[in-house]
């Protein structure tokens, strides 16, 4: 798994540092808003995953204006993370789903300020849907989801 991320870094060297910056920022913001709840599988976690993907794309776009490349990197690195750090299947699918929502939000609103993105994603998280099985994820294509109540 480590070899895979090193390989990704060789193909996208300009994106490595912005990704680390976005990761730290998303953790800091999530902790400020939700405390440690974002480490569980509730609405705070849905927020963190969507914000993480949004911020990775935003930070990387400062280095490369090609939206397709930025979004491809964001998907590859966050998918790698989900594969490298195993989770229960439903939690993994939830994370992948919320990651995708963050990327879609960036794709549709890349000019939005970071504060606006945080506000939008926090509202989306507050309205996220509780799911209890994988099939339910397909019914919520444009909505954040969570699997535990907080």
- pLDDT exceeds cutoff 50 at 18: yes
Please determine, for residue 29, whether its predicted confidence score (pLDDT) is greater than 90.
yes
pTM of the model: 0.91
Residue 53 makes CB contacts below 8 A (sequence gap 6+) with: 74, 78, 98, 99, 100, 101, 102, 103, 106
Residue the block writes with tokens 């209890």: 132
Which pLDDT tens digit goes with each residue over 40-91? 999 999 999 999 999 999 999 999 999 999 999 999 999 998 988 888 999 9
DSSP SS3 for 146: strand
Residue 5: pLDDT band with limits 50, 70, 90: very low
What is the distance between the alpha carbons of residues 16 and 47, in angstroms, rounded to a whole number?
Answer: 22
Residue 95 has which token pair?
């994370």
Extract the tokens encoding 100: 């995708």
């Amino acid at each position: 798994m480590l070899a895979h991320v090193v390989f990704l870094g060789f193909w996208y060297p300009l994106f490595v540092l912005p990704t680390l910056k976005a990761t730290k920022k998303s953790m800091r913001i999530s902790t400020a808003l939700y405390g440690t709840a974002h480490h569980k599988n509730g609405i705070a976690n849905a927020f963190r995953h969507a914000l993480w993907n949004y911020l990775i794309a935003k930070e990387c776009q400062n280095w490369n204006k090609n939206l397709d490349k930025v979004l491809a990197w964001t998907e590859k690195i966050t998918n790698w993370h989900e594969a490298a750090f195993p989770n229960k299947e439903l939690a993994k699918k939830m994370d992948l789903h919320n990651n995708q929502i963050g990327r879609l939000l960036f794709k549709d609103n890349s000019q939005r300020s970071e504060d606006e993105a945080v506000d939008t994603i926090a509202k989306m998280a507050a309205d996220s849907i509780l799911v209890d099985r994988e099939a339910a994820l397909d019914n919520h294509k444009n909505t954040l989801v969570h699997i535990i109540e907080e």
